[in-house]
Amino acid sequence: MALDNLRNLYQQVILEHYKKPRHRGITDPVDRQQRGHNPSCGDTIELTVRLDATGNRIEDVKFEGEGCAIALSSADLMADAMRGKTIAEALEMVKVFQNMMKGDGEFPREHRKLNVMQGVAQFPVRIKCATLTWHTLKAALEHQSAEPSYEAVSNEEID
């Protein structure tokens, strides 16, 4: 496939998830909750997570918030990929995503849909839009209680 067509395909996937998100809302119940903000673009994402009875596996991730197409489609794609993952697996995927946005590696076949975000890595100013939801999920999972954290995480210092 020509590079231009591939780029169009990436943009289509991003726009589709932006216009028709599948995971907008709030989980029931809320076991983890975290707000994330990306000051450089103005994206704000409020993530909620439902865990299984052991507290070790993610059953559902939902998001609310306002932001650009890249921030919101990244949240929707991430929520899709996180269902059924253990917390350890989820944190590993956060690392893979962050490395991918630095041009280092990509997701294996099972999660190849997430690789559409690689196209964003060509636009350094938008990378923080794409990583916001991942950064926020990491904070949510590392926060060891269902008590909401009112402190919004900001990814301003992250590269």
Binding stretches for Zn ion (CB under 5 A) = 41, 43, 68, 71, 129
* Pairing verdict, β 58-66 and 149-154: unpaired
Of the two residues 130 and 139, which places its CB atom closer to Zn ion in the complex?
A: 130
Angle made by CA atoms 112, 31, 140, in degrees to the nearest 5: 55
Residue whose CB is less far from Zn ion, 23 or 32: 23
Q: Burial of 143 by CB count in 10 Å (0-12 exposed, 13-18 middle, 19+ buried)?
A: middle
> Under a CB-based contact definition with an 8 Å cutoff, are residues 45 and 82 in contact?
no
Residue closer to Zn ion by CB (options 15, 88) is 15
29 half-sphere exposure, CB direction, 13 A CA radius: 9
Identity of the residue, 19 or 83, whose beta carbon is nearer to Zn ion in the bound complex: 19
User: Residue 53 and residue 152: Cα distance in Å, rounded?
Assistant: 27
Question: Smallest distance, Å, CB 65 to Zn ion?
Answer: 11
Least distance in Å: CB of 43 to Zn ion? 4
Residues forming a β-bridge with 51: 58
In the complex, minimum distance from the CB of residue 85 to Zn ion, in angstroms, rounded to a whole number: 25
Shortest distance, CB of residue 18 to Zn ion, whole angstroms? 11
Least Å from the CB of residue 34 to Zn ion: 18
Q: Which of residues 27 and 131 has its CB atom nearest to Zn ion in the complex?
A: 131
